[in-house]
Structure 1
Amino acid sequence: MSAEPDLGYSDRPPRLGFFTDTTVCIGCKACEVACKEWNAIPDDGLTLTGMSYDNTGGLGADTWRHVAFIEQRKPIARQDPGLHHDIDVLAMAGNGSAAPPAQAAGPGDRFRWLMASDVCKHCTHAACLDVCPTGSLFRTEFGTVVVQEDICNGCGYCVPACPYGVIDQREGDGRVWKCTLCYDRLGVGMEPACAKACPTDSIQFGPLDELRERARDRLGLLHEAGVADARLYGEDPGDGVGGDGAFFLLLDEPEVYGLPPDPVVTTRDLPAMWRHVAGAAVSLAAGALAAFAGTMLGRRR
């Protein structure tokens, strides 16, 4: 895709990103392991939450990829593999007795897993970039957002600025850390470690315009197959963050996956706020000047 004007590059490679198709995620956590190994990220305790098989809980300074395990009591499509067990039983029995009827699925059988590998969204309009006072956060030539920890002063302004709650400060360190989309690997033509390790191609990497086209095709296939709840999240350049560099195909509402339904860059209103502040300051100064002039005029009389 062509470079967005606000990314700061007039001549650069195509913007790169992730498309995560959660419909084929098997929850193996290979992406989490590969991310930690390549980026030398400390372990985060490996303690089960007690709520599911998820042992990381969410993204953080020591978890740049997080595989969510969402358990739902919800009907799922019944698959027919082409085997008719009643006929098979009759043939095996050889006595002409009727086979037991197939049991209907009860409430306990209507159960499904939703699994999704979450990551930094590498927003087009990234609030973390807007508020960073040291330039620690920067936009790469690939359109991704990266933290330079060696010049991060630990102010933490970027943490509440992120509409997704991705960026985080490391305990005992103070600096912020997050996914870099393996910037060091991109520079030598390699794909990110998580995408390389994904056994089902749930995490797909490449030029963002190609990924968006591929995602729309995949969504169409799912809708044709009757999966009406399938939707894309973060692929729209017209949304509140200008589109994400890492977007998803979901099988339920974003909130089910812990994602905000309508994210907006948190610094969107800063220019208007500063204009109001400037206007108020001018009005205050004019009022003070008028009061001072009136006082001086009164003394002269």
Structure 2
Amino acid sequence: MAGPNSLYGPLDPAPDAGYVDAPPRMGFFTDTSVCIGCKACEVACKEWNLIPDDGFNLLGTSYDNTGGLTANSWRHVAFIEQPAADRGGATDTPGAFAGLPVGPPASAQTAAIGAGTPQDTGTQPGVDALAATGTSQFLGMPGSDLPGRTMDAPRTDFRWLMMSNVCKHCTHAACLDVCPTGALFRTEFGTVVVQEDICNGCGYCIPACPYGVIDQRKEDGRAWKCTLCYDRIGDGLTPACAKACPTQSIQYGELDELRSRAAHRLEKLQEQGETSARLYGHDPADGVGGDGAFFLLLDEPEVYGLPPDPVVTTKDLPDMWKRAGLAALTMVAATVAAFAGRRR
């Protein structure tokens, strides 16, 4: 647990938690500009951590089937459908998203798989024909065009933003401060892990998290979240989600090196005209002391459902305890004075 004096300045969380000769801090850098929404990270996370299945019902408002981070979804790939009007332009503004990142183009084979619609008569266009014409659209769902994935030219009036969200493994983790049983602990890699066999289901950590990451499982009431595959990284392995990511949108490694890599990637995107690109959670001077899992976004954090200025919710605890102590001493002094007065 972070000491009270460390809540206001830079912190190396593992040594602060008592680890001597701690290894480098490890974390995630998620580059949303190359996320294709495949949800391989969600599947890999579930398979490795034996997380119960969840999210088989479509939400009705998106192709997303999980909707958010929960006790049974430790990784969540958000689908944000963004028309040009949401960027300040008129609806269907030609060229509003021209040149902006839309992910890698679909192969002819992928296009062939997606080219069937409910109106088809049972025959699928051949892969060879598609490759020859080079003009077929990649249809993400039957009868629906996945924006930006045409093989001839991308759409420029609409785009999908995709982001694989996860626990941020905060430098100043409020969930650690409020846990009464020690179920939440800081690892030697600087990450934050819940020990399910110690969690008593009190739920204090849930409102303490500034990102709304932690959730209770309905079956037993205990809290669950991403562990950054603590059992894997301790053996020198890559976390399951990063291992499964086909585009390297999720990158795992030493946090300082990831921050340097992210700054270089941001610079390249801005040089290419993506002026709205920004890093989120990388700054040690922010309200949580920087995150162990940070992101490159293509729009405002709110667009992705992230708080714009997260603040560790327990930052005022030291002052609160001081004030409570002073109030208690004042009451004791007043009580003693009252009894002394009565005796006289």
Q: TM-score, normalised by structure 2?
A: 0.76
Deviation at 1:3, TM superposition (A): 6.4
Q: 2:29 aligns with which of 19, 30, 40?
A: 19
Deviation at 1:201, TM superposition (A): 0.3
For residues 1-54 of structure 1, the C-alpha deviation after alignment (integer angstroms, 9 at most, x for no partner) is 976642432311111000000000000000000000111100113111111111
* 1:6 aligned residue: 16
For residues 65-101 of structure 1, the C-alpha deviation after alignment (integer angstroms, 9 at most, x for no partner) is 000000111220258xxxxxxxxxxxxxxxxxxxxxx
The one-letter amino acid paired with 1:37 is: E
User: Does 1:142 find its partner at 2:152?
Assistant: no
Deviation at 1:226, TM superposition (A): 1.2
User: Does 1:218 find its partner at 2:218?
Assistant: no
Instruction: In structure 1, list runs of 5 or more residues that go unmatched.
Output: 80-107
* 2:61 aligned residue: 51
In structure 2, how many angstroms separate the alpha carbons of the residues matched to 1:3 and 1:138?
A: 11
User: Does 1:264 find its partner at 2:311?
Assistant: yes
* 1:73 aligned residue: 83
SS in 1 for 2:197: helix
In structure 1, how many angstroms separate the alpha carbons of the residues matched to 2:99 and 2:43?
A: 33
Distance 1:78 1:128, change over 3 A: closer
In structure 1, how many angstroms separate the alpha carbons of the residues matched to 2:304 and 2:72?
A: 20
In structure 2, how many angstroms separate the alpha carbons of the residues matched to 1:58 and 1:182?
A: 19
Q: 1:39 aligns with which of 29, 49, 54?
A: 49
Alignment check: 8 A CA contact 2:99 2:273 kept: no
Percent identity reads: 74
In structure 1, how many angstroms separate the alpha carbons of the residues matched to 2:41 and 2:57?
A: 18
The one-letter amino acid paired with 1:38 is: W
Instruction: In structure 2, list runs of 5 or more residues that go unmatched.
Output: 1-10, 85-95, 101-154
Alignment check: 8 A CA contact 2:196 2:223 kept: yes
Higher CA-based Rg: 1
Aligned residues: 269
Alignment check: 8 A CA contact 1:2 1:14 kept: no
Q: 2:202 aligns with which of 152, 155, 158?
A: 155
Distance 1:53 1:22, change over 3 A: same
SS in 2 for 1:112: strand
Structure 1 consecutive aligned stretches of length 4 or more whose deviation exceeds 3 Å: 1-5
Deviation at 1:244, TM superposition (A): 0.4
The one-letter amino acid paired with 2:64 is: D
